[in-house]
Structure 1
């Protein structure tokens, strides 16, 4: 089901409601449309993933327990390549579930039964926050540019853009450290932020970082990625090329 707001709204945001309970989805739809938002509804996780790929919504309201593909799997798959805002909807009121949602990459977490007006307000708040940060979707560390939306990294040399051929994990490491340049990240921090779906060892981090530094070196930017003995790694825009 696809429905457009009858209220004029210059932002024209599209919300994907991934919820298998039709009554809940209809209530959310009504409140979001009242807020001037457009909506599209998916009744299971597989359909949600398909609508996400084809319609490119601005935010997803994602139920945890859905048929075919559950909400955790949907969230995990989307987070491998997108930073689209996602608010989880669930009847599970356990701290471990909330922590898991945030760790996998959810932007917010709402427990059923909920006040639909509050959900609509949270949607608006997340949209305002992410809309303000559009310019921050490209992170810059010296000549290094990291485009979070396009999922590419490149180095500028004069007027030329030189793309880095990074793996997904290498891009995650680079983007995570670029959000806080000069800060030293421990191996355990990088594991939690970038490799949470597996159970890697510290040497796995070292291997990924080593490969990343080699690729930066191929474009003359190896000096940006520094290892701090006994602590971890950091990106350093102030360092000099070696």
Structure 2
């Protein structure tokens, strides 16, 4: 995980420099961009393992940039924003971000979240080695290959972010078991869950939009009201 390339996108130089100090102390290679336009240019020229993306920026903000990046890239995206309302967080995650932190933030917490996201992403990439045996989970027309991190519904390939895949794999490996949002968060993010956090709900909604024919009557990920989520056997 050391030497991973991280692109920090923020129009405030002081924040970019602060983040760089903490990331470099952990052995990461840090790239800078001051807005979404510059970030897209860098991503077209260089490989990046993780993106830290501010929401409020000139020319192209973080929301627009995230939507554009997700058309072709699947690396983890961690959003930063001065907006702390739940609706702002839901909106950010709905555009394809894997995680969301509000400003001002604790740099050590930011580093911890970066490491958590990178573990999943690098595991995903390393798992795509052709020498590994396939490990497939099949549920109806849903096929999950945990070796290559590929998902198909029938003949259609579904592109999931590393976080989305981790949630789907967790539920699929424990079919019939109900997982609360708290338990999913602590298993996937590997950090304590906070009462007001809507992160899991947003990610489950995004997964359903990708794998379900009818999100109002989901075939795979079921909601157990007041308890959590499950995939039935």
TM class by shorter chain equals 0.5 to 0.7
1:193 aligns with 2:206: yes
CA gap of 1:119–1:231, structure 2 versus 1, over 3 A, is closer
1:120 aligns with 2:111: yes
Identify which of 16, 21, 32 aligns with 2:23: 32
Q: Is the 8 A contact 2:124 2:149 kept in 1?
A: no
Q: CA deviation at 1:97?
A: 0.9
1:157-187 CA distance string (max 9 Å, x none): xxxxxxx7x7xxx7459x98x967799xxxx
CA distance in 2, matches of 1:195, 1:54: 33
The aligned counterpart of 2:86 is 95
1:19 aligns with 2:32: no
Q: CA deviation at 1:135?
A: 5.2
Q: CA deviation at 1:194?
A: 7.2
CA gap of 1:11–1:90, structure 2 versus 1, over 3 A, is same
Superposed, 1:99-114 pairs within 5 Å as 99-114=90-105
CA distance in 2, matches of 1:105, 1:195: 13
Specify every segment of 5 or more residues in structure 1 that has no aligned partner in the other structure, as ranges: 1-9, 156-163, 184-188, 197-201, 207-229, 235-242
CA distance in 2, matches of 1:55, 1:101: 24
1:125-166 CA distance string (max 9 Å, x none): 211232233356698577x7989x99998x9xxxxxxxx7x7
Higher relative contact order (CA 8 A, sep 6+): 2
1:48 aligns with 2:39: yes
Q: Is the 8 A contact 2:208 2:218 kept in 1?
A: no
* TM-score normalised per structure 1: 0.57
C-alpha RMSD of matched pairs (Å)? 4.3
* TM-score normalised per structure 2: 0.59
Q: Is the 8 A contact 2:145 2:151 kept in 1?
A: yes
CA gap of 1:172–1:115, structure 2 versus 1, over 3 A, is closer
Superposed, 1:99-178 pairs within 5 Å as 99-134=90-125, 171=158
Q: CA deviation at 1:53?
A: 2.1
